[in-house]
Every structure is written in structure tokens, then in C-alpha cells.
Structure 1
Amino acid sequence: MKTIYLSISLLASTLLSGCNQSTSNESTQGDAGKKLVVGVSMLSMQNEFIVNVNDELAKKAEEAGVELITVDAERSALKQVEQVESFIAQQVDAIIMNPCEVEASSPAVTKALAAKIPIVNVNSETSTKPSAFVGSDDVESGRIAMKFIADKLGGKGNVVMMHGYMGQAAQIKREQGAREVLKQYPNIKLIAHQTAEWDRAKAMDLMENWIQSYGSGINAVFAHNDEMGLGAVKALTDAGLKNKVLVVSIDAIPDALQAVKKGTLDATVFQNAEQQGAKAIETAVKIAKGQPYEKETLIPFQLVTKDNVTKFIKQ
């Protein structure tokens, strides 16, 4: 009887030990297999370029098995800060922010870092440094656009400039780059500059006002993005002036590429939305996993004219 009892006890002990071991393994696998959650706040989902960046974020996140919580800040820095506060409360693993403004969106970065949650700025910057930045050097894009205009004008003429949303990094830096080039050409005059807030319809209205004020005195238009550039093209075409006025813009969205191909838009500057989106999610995941990562990833701009536009048009 003693032998039987001892055997039963040993068997029960072995079974219990095996059961405990199995539970422990499952728990470890669960932790290791936990899906990363990344909160994303985008400047405006009404902006085609921003939508393109977001589409790539979503695509790469799905490939990496990362859950995204994406929200639209609708160009409001205040709303964006509140969205980041919500991500912090949800204890996400990382945050990707496409900042609305350099200064006003900065508190969102401060709050995320204070909560020990990594935050990656994509496409646009804040004065407070995030964990990492993925985008392009907007000063470079302004230089490229204005240099093309200066060359085409032969170093003299009158230029108007359409700003993006005032206070946003792209607006500030694209203006900076353009003005750096203008300093080298004293015979090129910037006769007017105003915001059209990245918007095609607002740019068309602004261009119509400038046509009334300056008429054929305008030799070139530099628009901080393609939406505004295309609005300017429409107003100039309607006024019968497009053949006399150069229009150059930035981003190389599909509509702009087609306009360059047709010759209605003289040039655009390609900004790689896909690479920005892909690198942003890749960087956020690396930081969340404690892996080595680049604190700054800059993707070069490229000038697009009728000569090379076919290389940028997706078939």
C-alpha cells in the first residue's frame, strides 16, 4: 500500500509540475507576442500628401503586426496636444506625430517624453526635440524651387510666393530656402507673399487677387505645395496668363506630376511620402523594442520637370 501511495503522490507531483511549467511558458509567449500599439496624430487628412504618408504608415504597420490608433488633428495644435495626452492615458508603446505647428505642438512632445513614451515626429518639426525625426530638409526644397525659377527667369523678374499654413515647419523652412536663393539674385523681386494655407481653392482666390493687383507684372509663382501651385495655375489659365508666368511648387503629388507632364505646371519638387511613412513606423517600433535607431532620418528632395517626370509617375 505504501508503494502504491508513493507512486500516486509522485505522479500527482509530476503532473502538477508539468501544469505549472506549461502555464509559465504560455505567459512568457503572451508577453513576447504582445502586439505593439502606436498612436498616430496627423496634421490634416484633407491634405493629399499627408494622406499619402499616413497610407504608408498603415501599410507598414500591418506588415509589422503593429496596431495603429490614427487620429486627425484637423490643423489644430491644441487638438493635437489633447490627442497625444489621450495616447499617454491609453499607455501606447510609441507615438508618431505629424506636427501642426513648430511651437504650439511642442507641448505634446514634452508630455510624451515625460511619460516615458517614445515620440517620433514625421514630415514636420517641433521646437522641442522628439525621440526621433523622420522627414526631409524643407529648406532644401525651397532652395531647389527658387533656384529653378531664378535660372528660368535669367536672374531677373518679379516673383510672388504662396505660403503654407503659417507657423508650420514646412512653411517656415521653405520660405527660408527660397529667400536664401533670392539674396543671390538682386534683380529678382519678391513683390507679394501670403498664405493660402496649403489649399487649392484658397490659392486660386489669392492668385486672382494678385492678377488684379499686378497683372502681367508677375513673372513667376513659388507655391509651398502642389495644391496651391495647381490653384495658381487654374487662376492664371483662366486669366490667359499661364504661358507668361512660371509656376513651381513642392510635393510631387499625382495631380502635380500630370500637370508637369502636360506643361501647365513648370516644375515640382518630389518629397517621398512613402519613405517618410515607412521610416517613421520602423523607427517607432525600434525605439519601443529598445533596439538601436537613427535620431534623424532625412530623405532628399528631387526636382521634377517635363524632362524627368515620367520617372515619378506611377504606372
Structure 2
Amino acid sequence: MKTAIKLACAFGALVLSSELADAETRIGVTMTSFNNPFLTILMNGMRDQAAQMKDVSLQMEDANLDVSRQINQVQNFIASGVDAIIVNAIDGEMSPTITKMVHSAGIPLIYVNHPPADLESLPEKAVFVGSNELDSGTMETQAVCKLMGGKGKAFVMMGPLENIAARVRTDDIHNVLKSDACKGITVIDEKVANWSRGEAVDLMNNWMTSGQTFDAVIANNDEMAIGAIQAMKAAGMDMKKVVVAGIDATPDGLSAMKAGDLDVTVFQNASKQGAVSVESAAKLAKGEKVDSKLWVPFELVTPENMEKYARK
């Protein structure tokens, strides 16, 4: 009888051990918004990577641009006992609050795409996966400057000011325009359009109604650049006479470039960022070490090389 009990216990232990070995790594993901073409690519990169790994499951939540909602989603992930949390932060300035909560719970944390305010002081088991924004707006504006011959007037469309990427990209623009080669270009106005195509249409219409002459529109992302293009084309403007630039090289952005409307964009490999974030989350959940910053390089895209990116 005792022997039978011992065998049963041993068998039970083996079954439990097997179940633990086969158990999924559960990762909670909170996204700024599901209604954004670039972030859709980012999410697809996550899903593809999780599918390849087979032992990883994702629980994706839409914060819908609501900071309080995003914090609640993180709290719910912690309460449900996920193995890792991925955050595409709405407001970088709120990231220290999220970092503290997740770190206190002993759960690995991965910020993806939108840099956290505490990037330089992330604790152990917290990492950032993204692209260095010092390169994005710099590449974009240097290309615009070249197309403009270093002189002219430009409008600047910005992402939300609480977003670190938007602020850095805008700073990049101004830093390039201070250089000797580009100081002949004047920014006549800059306003927030919140990464949104629709808001960019309205903003561009307001600028055109003001009667100011301009030679370029430099946008923090492709969606706003496309909105500007739509407004200008609706007003009958000749797109050959204005330089339009964005960032992200989204499929819609590349289509606008192919049509001859978008002159410059910068490829940000959203799919790769998504894949690396899931891969890093799984590694950290298993106790493996991961670098605190994982950079996916930006790449300049112009009509001359756009076909290469259309395939990505």
C-alpha cells in the first residue's frame, strides 16, 4: 500500500513537473490605441512572434489614449498573475508610476516603441525596446532640407506633447534647422495633431485658410503627413510644389510616396519592435538576462529606395 502511494505521489510529481514545463508564459500587453496603422503593425509583430514561440500567450488590451485606463490595465495584469507585462505607453511621464507598480510585484516589464520617462533609471527586469528618436526626426529633416535647397518656409505637425517620441522628433527638426546648411528654412507654425490623419486634415485646412505661404510640411508621423496631403489635394494644390515628410514608412505612407505626394519618410521597424518585445518578455519571465535598451535602427526612405520597404 505504501509502495503504491509512493508511486502515485511520484507519478503526480512527474505530471505536475511536465505541466509546469509545458505551461504557457502569459504576457499582458497594454497598447496606446488599437486604432492606429503603425501600432497595428507593432501588434502583428507581437502576435507573429508569440505564435512562433508556441509556449507564449498574449492578452492584449486597448487603452484607447486614456492614461487612467492604461494604469488600470497594468493593475489588472498584476492581479491576474501574468508572467510579464508589455507597455506601449500613452504618456511617458506616467511611466515611473507603472514601473514602480510592476517592479514591486516582481514582474518583468517591457516598454515598447514609446520611450518611458525613466528610461535611464529602469530597474532590474525592466527594458525598453524601440528606435532611437534622435535619429528619426534628424534623418527626416536633413532630407527635407536637401530637397528645399536649405531655404523656405515650413509647417510642423506634432504628435501629443506628453509623448516623448513626439517631443524628441520635434526637437530633432529644430536642431537640424539650426545647422549652417539648413538655417535658411523657417518654421512658420507648429501645432499638435495627435498622430491623427483626421486632426491633420483640420490643422492643414486652418493653415491654408490663414493665407500663409509655405514650401513644406514636416510631420512627426506618416498619418499626419497623409492628412496634410489630403487637405492640400482637396484644396487643389500642386503637390510637386510642396515637400511633405513623415515618419514610420507605413503601408499608407509608402502608397502616398508611390503616388508622388509624400517625399520623405523614415522606416521604423514596428514588426521587429513587436517581435523583440515579446521575445524579451519571455526571456525575462524565465529568469534570463536582457539588455535594458534594445535598439531597432531607423532607416531613411525616399522615392528612390521605397520599393525595398514596400516588401517589408
TM category (shorter chain) comes to over 0.9
Residue 212 of structure 1 aligns with an amino acid whose one-letter code is: T
Paired with 1:201 and 1:72, the residues of 2 have a C-alpha distance of: 20
Paired with 2:96 and 2:201, the residues of 1 have a C-alpha distance of: 32
- Work out which of the residue numbers 57, 60, 80 in structure 1 matches 2:70: 80
- Work out which of the residue numbers 133, 139, 143 in structure 2 matches 1:144: 139
Q: Please tell me whether the aligned partners of residues 135 and 299 of structure 1 are also in contact (alpha carbons under 8 angstroms).
A: yes
Paired with 1:156 and 1:167, the residues of 2 have a C-alpha distance of: 31
The structure-2 alpha-carbon separation of the partners of 1:90 and 1:260, relative to structure 1 and needing over 3 Å to count, comes to same
Q: Please tell me whether the aligned partners of residues 160 and 218 of structure 1 are also in contact (alpha carbons under 8 angstroms).
A: yes
Q: Please tell me whether the aligned partners of residues 80 and 105 of structure 1 are also in contact (alpha carbons under 8 angstroms).
A: no
CA offsets 1:2-28 (integer angstroms, 9 cap, x no match)? xxxxxxxxxx44433322221121121
Across the two proteins, how many residue pairs are aligned to each other? 303
Indicate the residue corresponding to 1:263 in structure 2. Answer: 260
Paired with 2:96 and 2:253, the residues of 1 have a C-alpha distance of: 32
1:90 matched to 2:80? The reply is yes
- Work out which of the residue numbers 232, 236, 253 in structure 1 matches 2:232: 236
Q: Please tell me whether the aligned partners of residues 134 and 276 of structure 1 are also in contact (alpha carbons under 8 angstroms).
A: yes
1:219 matched to 2:208? The reply is no
Q: Which moved more, 1:233-242 or 1:266-275?
A: 233-242
Stretches of 4+ aligned residues off by more than 6 angstroms: none
CA RMSD of aligned residues (A): 1.4
Matches within 5 A, 1:113-132: 113-129=103-119, 130=122, 131-132=126-127
Identity across matched positions, percent: 36
Q: CA deviation at 1:238?
A: 2.0
Residue 105 of structure 2 aligns with an amino acid whose one-letter code is: A
Indicate the residue corresponding to 2:170 in structure 1. Answer: 175
Indicate the residue corresponding to 1:68 in structure 2. Answer: 58
| Other structure's SS at 1:198 match | coil
Residue 91 of structure 1 aligns with an amino acid whose one-letter code is: G
Q: CA deviation at 1:80?
A: 0.8
Of structures 1 and 2, the larger Rg is shown by 1
Q: Please tell me whether the aligned partners of residues 117 and 164 of structure 2 are also in contact (alpha carbons under 8 angstroms).
A: no
Matches within 5 A, 1:10-21: 12-21=1-10
Task: Give the alignment's TM-score, normalised by structure 2.
Answer: 0.93
Paired with 2:289 and 2:98, the residues of 1 have a C-alpha distance of: 24
Indicate the residue corresponding to 1:8 in structure 2. Answer: none
List gaps (5 residues or longer) in structure 2.
none
Indicate the residue corresponding to 1:3 in structure 2. Answer: none
Q: Please tell me whether the aligned partners of residues 39 and 70 of structure 1 are also in contact (alpha carbons under 8 angstroms).
A: yes
Q: CA deviation at 1:135?
A: 0.6
